[in-house]
Amino acid sequence: MEQVLSDENSQPAITSEESKDSFVINTMRAIKTKEMLAEVLELNGWQSTVNAGEGDCFWCGPNDHEGYPEIVTTKAEAAYMRFPNAERVTDKNELGFLMNYMRMSYPEEYNFVTRTFIMPSQEAQLKAAMAENKEVTWICKPSDGNGGDDIELVNEFHEISEQMLKIEFVAQEYITKPYLIFNKKFDLRIYVPLFGAEHMNAYICEQGIGRFCAIHYQEPTAENKKC
């Protein structure tokens, strides 16, 4: 980590007396969150540092884990903002693989997971599943997609676009009768900080986000599934 930080960006080292009186966050890798962190630091009376190896908590983005082995070796008591490789669960193929594994291992606890196929590696299995019942609707989502972009609803394999077949994606059995609020689809985002890997502690944030569709839900048909 010493090589990442140049001299011109460093700041005076925090003394042992200062560190006793204040929680210190290392913001060396904070890029898009600097303004937000500045507000949090001010509200709580905490300090920040950009010096490599200093701080009680190391803040970083989803792909900045280069210094993790050095941190846990030299500062085992420090907090790290992200679990290394946690960003892999934001990839739908990776998440689909993990959810399938958990469903096979704990079928009763994970019976809410619909049939999921990882493409293109499970193409044969997907074709077989689609051939069993052409009335079943499947939702295809790019593995690295977000925001509902480029999603396709299909009933048969030949309906999947050539563009989709060129990339990695997941195909899941579509829930045609979902939970609705005022006849509208919705999703809830609940924020849960996790502490530790073994003997994990979880804290549920009192505030969350609810997002609602602007129009009433309609079950997929040959006419509307291409919209």
| Residue 202, pLDDT score | 92
Question: Mean pLDDT over all residues of the chain?
Answer: 84
Q: In angstroms, rounded to a whole number, what is the distance separating the alpha carbons of residues 183 and 102?
A: 31
Average pLDDT over residues 188-198: 85
| Residue 98, pLDDT score | 94
| Residue 62, pLDDT score | 63
pLDDT at 26 over 60: yes
Q: Name residue 76's amino acid.
A: A
pLDDT at 124 over 80: yes
Site of tokens 């609707």: 137
Give the model's confidence band at 29: pLDDT under 50 very low, under 70 low, under 90 confident, else very high.
Answer: confident
pLDDT at 2 over 60: no
Closest CA to 50 of 10, 7, 22: 10
User: Is pLDDT larger for residue 179 or for residue 82?
Assistant: 179
Given phi > 0 = left and psi -120 to 50 = alpha, else beta, which region is 9? alpha
Q: Is residue 161 within 8 Å of 225, Cβ to Cβ?
A: no
Q: Name residue 144's amino acid.
A: D
Q: Name residue 105's amino acid.
A: S
Q: In angstroms, rounded to a whole number, what is the distance separating the alpha carbons of residues 140 and 145?
A: 11
| Residue 55, pLDDT score | 87
| Residue 4, pLDDT score | 34
CA angle in degrees (0–180, nearest 5) for 14-18-19: 80
Q: In angstroms, rounded to a whole number, what is the distance separating the alpha carbons of residues 136 and 118?
A: 18
